Structure 1
């Protein structure tokens, strides 16, 4: 029998026994055919590879991630994934949907059509992440848009339901209507969840209504409660800790978990890798390589009903990687549909990015120049001091804490410049409300200078933080001029910046170029005193009103647990 490729004498990962077996692997028409030794002599391969000393594992599958987090287009993102052995992803494009709604989602799908990696999508279920009463977005996704998007072939799940407060408190909420529609009409579509710190009856209600996965940061006890209640857990890097790995190993919970990346910055992607990085970390924390591979290939494929992915067996897609070293998970080759797409010993020629977004996507920051007067917290002129509500940033998490302190007042203006705190401001940039909200920040954030960005989860308004008004307006106006991006300023000088002109959140540069600029932004923020494992994500999520505890949008400070606006000044 003629076959396209035969890989001889290789250790093959069998997903069903979670172990390696010595075999010859044959491929025909982009799919695996015969995996064995005894009858390989009956095959006539067009090409033979000697796999002696190597390991063959399925291509890695990431079922919860956001391409926009890399600040790159799907093509640039795909080019980088191949080097890291990732052959299938499920992206949730709620970032661009918050700017351009259903059109943004469709353009992301179109932009991925020529990618080597299989890119599937989830319908963004929370656009806005809360409601128009708490944040202003460029557009919204409603039931009408949900129904239209579910007709797209590349849509395979309902994206993360973030507004868990609505789900557990309002049976008539938009989130509930989305969940019910998908359950009734697309029963094979997974329903993805986002419920940080939710426990007890509230967690039970969230699951009861149909959300049966979670990817947010958790303790061991929270992981245990979720799995006890039948939830599938998607483990991102900040949840990949020794105690959680030991808990999974001790209780043999491999069927109920998968590794996911969620958000990966471009510099980290270029320099450290993607899902392969998490596999290596899981191994370093004590998980057997076979089990780490299993939860990065088979369980995520099963979660998303991708039955032809995640295993090496007859009829399955021949997406696989070859490893030189199992413990180090060092990748030598990546194959997609049986064709070699990456070889570490050959020059890697990236696929050219020919797709361009519509012209209006490059003109989405509708803001005039910011003036210093907009950065004044005004109070009664008779007051000498006021009690303030303050957002505290902590390393190791993107959650914040609500604290309180008294600040001096000078001529009716809160003197935040001479306080220990930074000012944080959000300017509505979609050309709708012209809202401006002000707050105060402390903790593991900057100690001088300023940082501004339109990459502000999830509404992507203009967010600026700083220790003095001059640097704040310099940074903010640079981002406005660039039609989106990040800018770091100190003493009037721009230390680093990246232009993100596509919807204010993406660049059409190569991943290497984006990675270099993002790396400089990260280092500049650290130079200003930002003491966080991911300062870019930490700052960007200060405006995410579904992530505990106190956040800020263009509407004001949001106490997340209550889903309501609270004042910066406490009378």
Structure 2
């Protein structure tokens, strides 16, 4: 149980006594312009009375519950809105621990979220999720955890993960508490549609536990299989990139999640389902999925997403609904979070200036002032991860340049080769076919053709599994390489470069620091240690943001100028998003026909 948040049933006597005026409120906010997301209106001159972690009273009169020890805040007419909720986020993708994530986002107005810990689950299974849950419970965040549904994301025949979860593990996790809220994004959507026993069993375990299932459907919006997916009980989906994606999901009774992460910018298009097609927004949500520590520092979190949605033509109060009450209702916890109403948790933000600016001046979380003027006002205890989590990178041997040789089916000439084409600010890739030169049975890549090699090396069990492919649009204009253990979703060791020598150096550097990122050029090496499962840093938020920015600069200096390039590159091993990816098992194609491993060479 979260140490800051008591169940409503335990609070009823004190809340009622406070609302009557027989017990002094612990906190009172006077003269606020209340953003009422339930009614969709702004109410001026409103007062809010808080008892402990929950709201006891909302109304015009408040003096009857002010005592000698009541903390009184005069809002002076400023807007008071519900704390913002992120409806789909992987904390690990910020490279921060839960504690440091809380320190980063509370000053930005985020007071809670629905966190799918499938990154650490792919490394440590249920143990990883449990660690993050226990840490989350020590923070003021209304942190709801989801149970990873796809570990590995698409089956062991396509990739090697560090763990495997199935229906029994899903059922077990739901027994940990009410804050284990849902089944995480069901990325193996073909498995659901075609009756895979494991996937169907996980959804059944979820429904029997009274929880909801989140989706991840990347086939076209008009594909006949979307209703099949919905029939399985999947009621929310963040893989919306067009207005049609949103429209079809909402028409089927699903919640459509529109994301504005660091490197994928889908809100501008998807929000047209409301601004141009006129659909009701009650089943639309704004989410991040995800934002790096660097972009949290430089741009913001859900406050940034709201501001962006409003700039697309969404009315401010509607945008707030899409990041508060809609999200809470989707997960069945609107009694606790998502609105400023009696009985709810006192998660409140006070805003400077215009509502559309979403300029957060103060954040109140679970009835306590947690941040003011961009700075935390409370300290958080932190969490100690065990040694096995800090030493999770196990490769069979050090990398050498020869590991990155691609052997061609001919001795010389040219061969038609499948290339992974990266798309800036998009999660999907394209499949491109290029005729590349061969000499001595070796494929020549990176000799001024703008292409790079990409390799995935198994790092969980030291099996020695490895595959090498070709990728375009990286942009390196000089010899360079990047290696990382942040390689969604199995998080093996991903290496990209145009020099076999530098690729080996980068890979070995990441192994030496037991997880993280390394960029190597002829001028030197830039490292970003991520020792917690090879995904998260042990350092404070400020340090992590600086190290993340250093990686971005190193990539930029080498010619990779993509927006938040690291976030995009980390997805190139994610074998459930179209169209072409690489895993330790080989080149994987994702299409409406399903998922399958294909040859690097077209004529084989």
TM-score, normalisation: structure 1 = 0.96
- Cα distance in structure 1, aligned partners of 2:450 and 2:107: 45
Q: What are the residue-to-residue correspondences of 1:102-121 with 2, within 5 Å? A: 102-121=126-145
Are 1:570 and 2:583 matched, yes or no? no
C-alpha change, 1:47 and 1:358, in structure 2 (3 Å) is: closer
1:80 counterpart residue number? 104
C-alpha change, 1:52 and 1:444, in structure 2 (3 Å) is: same
Alpha-carbon offset, residue 459 of structure 1: 0.6
Structure 1 runs (4+) greater than 6 angstroms displaced: none
Alpha-carbon offset, residue 242 of structure 1: 3.8
Alpha-carbon offset, residue 13 of structure 1: 1.3
Q: What are the residue-to-residue correspondences of 1:171-570 with 2, within 5 Å? A: 171-183=195-207, 185-187=208-210, 189-199=211-221, 200-237=223-260, 238=264, 240-250=266-276, 251-306=278-333, 307-325=335-353, 326-344=355-373, 348-349=376-377, 351-367=379-395, 368-380=397-409, 382-418=411-447, 419-448=449-478, 449-491=480-522, 493-494=524-525, 496-561=526-591, 562-570=594-602
Partner-residue secondary structure (3-state), 1:403: strand
Consecutive unaligned residues of structure 1, counting only runs of 5 or more, are none
2:11 counterpart residue number? none
Consecutive unaligned residues of structure 2, counting only runs of 5 or more, are 1-20
Partner-residue secondary structure (3-state), 1:327: helix
Alpha-carbon offset, residue 320 of structure 1: 0.3
C-alpha change, 1:252 and 1:35, in structure 2 (3 Å) is: farther
C-alpha change, 1:520 and 1:66, in structure 2 (3 Å) is: same
- The answer as to whether partners of 1:455 and 1:505 remain within 8 angstroms in 2 is yes
CA offsets, 1:410-438, max 9 Å, x none? 11111113243211011111125311101
Partner-residue secondary structure (3-state), 2:554: helix
Partner-residue secondary structure (3-state), 1:569: coil
Alpha-carbon offset, residue 460 of structure 1: 0.6
Partner-residue secondary structure (3-state), 2:468: strand
1:92 counterpart residue number? 116
Aligned mate of 2:154, from 130, 135, 157 = 130
- The answer as to whether partners of 1:53 and 1:324 remain within 8 angstroms in 2 is no
Q: How many residues align?
A: 565
Query: Higher mean Cα deviation, 530-539 or 82-91?
Result: 530-539
- Cα distance in structure 2, aligned partners of 1:100 and 1:542: 21
Alpha-carbon offset, residue 261 of structure 1: 1.1
Alpha-carbon offset, residue 353 of structure 1: 4.7
- Cα distance in structure 2, aligned partners of 1:344 and 1:420: 46
- Cα distance in structure 1, aligned partners of 2:338 and 2:426: 31
- The answer as to whether partners of 1:394 and 1:532 remain within 8 angstroms in 2 is no
CA offsets, 1:44-100, max 9 Å, x none? 342322211311011111121111001111111111111011111111111001111
2:181 counterpart residue number? 156
- Cα distance in structure 2, aligned partners of 1:466 and 1:331: 42
- Cα distance in structure 1, aligned partners of 2:76 and 2:495: 55
- Cα distance in structure 1, aligned partners of 2:66 and 2:388: 54
CA RMSD of aligned residues (A): 1.7
- Cα distance in structure 1, aligned partners of 2:377 and 2:88: 27
